Structure 1
Amino acid sequence: MRISGNTIFIPGATSGIGLALAERLHDAGNTVIVGGRRRALLDEIAAQHPGIDTVRIDTTDAASIAAAATEVIARHPDLNVLITMAGVMRTEDWKTPAGFVEIAEATVTTNLLGPIRLIGAFIEQLRAQPDSTIMTVSSGLAFAPLRVTPTYNATKAAIHMLSESLRLQLADSTVRVVELEPPSVATDLMPGQQQSPFAMPLDEFADEVMSILSDEPEVTEVQVERVKFLRYGEARGDYARVVETLNHADPHAAA
């Protein structure tokens, strides 16, 4: 993925990692469109960052995704990058159905169906461009499970394999597939995560991601150094130690 000269849509970028990357990508010379559910936040972003466009979208709603895609493409016919940023992370207790079924269903809808629907809404637009990118967002927890978030872990593992598979299917097209694999980052993804001593500072994470994209334009998995403990436990042969360490640390240690 080239670092500038793109037109980029980032649904789920009204805060946290999404907003931090939107700001940096805009500053790097890209046209950036931020998507989100809350109009007040979108208006605030537009006011604070002249030049960043905004579109209302609810990635849990197929109709909202379709309507937003029509709007974004009409306003930005040269759109060539989609970053499927929106996601949720909630704890679950699988001892009783009341402790997990509703949460699990909502997590799958947001974290897995959302990206699938987004890619479906934009794939023809992206394939028509001479150079385009789909950036998915998985997690270090795609590779090592956190006990309290089973469905989150599962959806992020699914996003990893979806990314791998799409890369194969689109290999003969103009569309590149890049997977962003964050560690725990100091955002409000979960209560208390911003204050967790295990969470990577947001600015540090976003700056390292931008550095990787700049230095390695052909990268397929964007991995900051802090996520590699989780990402490569199985390859190193210390997966059991990784899982034990993760689950005896702070609950936000690898969100």
Structure 2
Amino acid sequence: MPYRRSATSRYLSNLLQLLAFAALALLVVWLLVRGAENLGYSWQWYRVPRYLGQFGPDGFQPGPLLRGLGLTLLISACSLLLALLFGLATALLRLSGSITGRLLATGYLESVRNTPLLVQIFLVYFVLAPILGIERFAAAVLALSLFEGAYIAEIIRAGIVAIPRGQWEAAAALGMSRRRCLVHIVLPQALRHTAPPLTSQAVSLIKDSALVSTIAVFDLTMMGQQIVAETFLTFEIWFTVAAIYLTMTLGLAGLVRHLERRLNGHGPQFLDGRF
């Protein structure tokens, strides 16, 4: 009986929380609709689907929003891969015995983490891009990867530091070099600790990628701006763009929770390569 009462209490608590959330969501929607009405805005949701895509004689044709979404995903994927390389290299430099390496890594981290991303995008696009001879897409990827790489570096460094020093000493006693110990023993274990925060950083990267629209990269945000300028569907388009971003980030957030459950419950399987 006590267990039943406890289960019933939890059920009622969850139900009340869901009802409270639904009431809050309805209140927000009502406020938005009422605000639009006060502005004399006429909702035209029926015009939005064509900007997502439509079926024609040749099959489904993606609209500008889906094309922008594709570019956003491409920029995010390329930036994440490059940011992982920057982050790993920076983390290793910070942990190295080289004074020059540590100074370079610290200078990079402090410069990136203490300046706005928008300013960094402008610096890369207007200063570095002409010097390197790269297009705006590459400039956007480089700016995002440098920014996110600084935060990834600290995540990776924390994962490496969390490994007991005894494992380094045991590997050295077995005749393994420091590099082999790092690659075969330390990094696989560090990955177990850093996978969830790295995935969370990927969520931040997707959201930060919206800023590349400021250098005329036709990502999802830029496409939204262009459609709004042409159609004046301000509320409908921006709500749609926000919903697309929300869907992507919630999906990745769900992946983070899944990783945390797997790593907490099946750590050895992860280390054995059966994750």
Q: Give the TM bin, normalised by the shorter chain.
A: under 0.3
Task: Compare the two structures and name the one with the higher helix fraction.
Answer: 2
* TM-score, normalised by the number of residues in structure 1: 0.26
